[in-house]
Amino acid sequence: MDLAKQAANGIDALFFTDEEKSNASLKAVELWIETQKVLRDESSARSITRRYLAVMIMGVNLFEGLAACGIYKFDLEWSKFILEMMQSQAFMVGAVVVFYFGYYGFKQIVGAKK
């Protein structure tokens, strides 16, 4: 008897009724609206934090590059060490350039071609 109930429930689960489709669509629309509410404010604390982090990461990288150039004349080994540190951070800096600053650069290039 229990096996028959499980089989019937399994067959019932295979078919997506109009009411179930309607409920699923309603949930999807509600989720989309909530997502849009979160994303509409670009001056949120999250976007400001992203901006500060991107500028700080790029600032540190620029400082390291300038320090390596300035120190090169006086201490070659220390300069090499700084460059090695920069190489270990290259992926992070590249990700910031592509995903944060790349959007604005792409917008300017596309806008200039209009």
pLDDT for residue 113: 62
Judgement on whether residues 92 and 67 belong to the same structural domain of the protein: yes
pLDDT for res 33: 84
Q: Which helix (H) or strand (E) holds 68?
A: helix 45-72
Based on the domain organization, do 33 and 49 belong to the same domain? no
Same-domain pairing of 27 and 64: no
41: region left, alpha or beta (phi > 0 left; psi from -120 to 50 alpha): beta
pLDDT at 51: 82
Residues 14, 57: one domain? no
- What range defines the domain where residue 81 resides? 45-112
Cα–Cα dist 98/92, whole Å: 10
Q: Tens place of pLDDT for every residue, the chain, 114 residues?
A: 576 666 666 666 666 677 777 887 888 888 888 877 766 666 677 777 888 888 898 888 999 888 989 998 898 898 899 889 888 888 888 888 888 877 777 777 777 665
d(CA 58, CA 100): 11
Where does residue 82 rank: exposed (0-12), middle (13-18), buried (19+ CB within 10 A)?
A: buried
How far CA 87 is from CA of 11, 69, 70, in Å, comes to 58, 15, 18
Q: Look up the pTM and report it.
A: 0.50
Instruction: Read off the tokens for 82.
Output: 């700084």
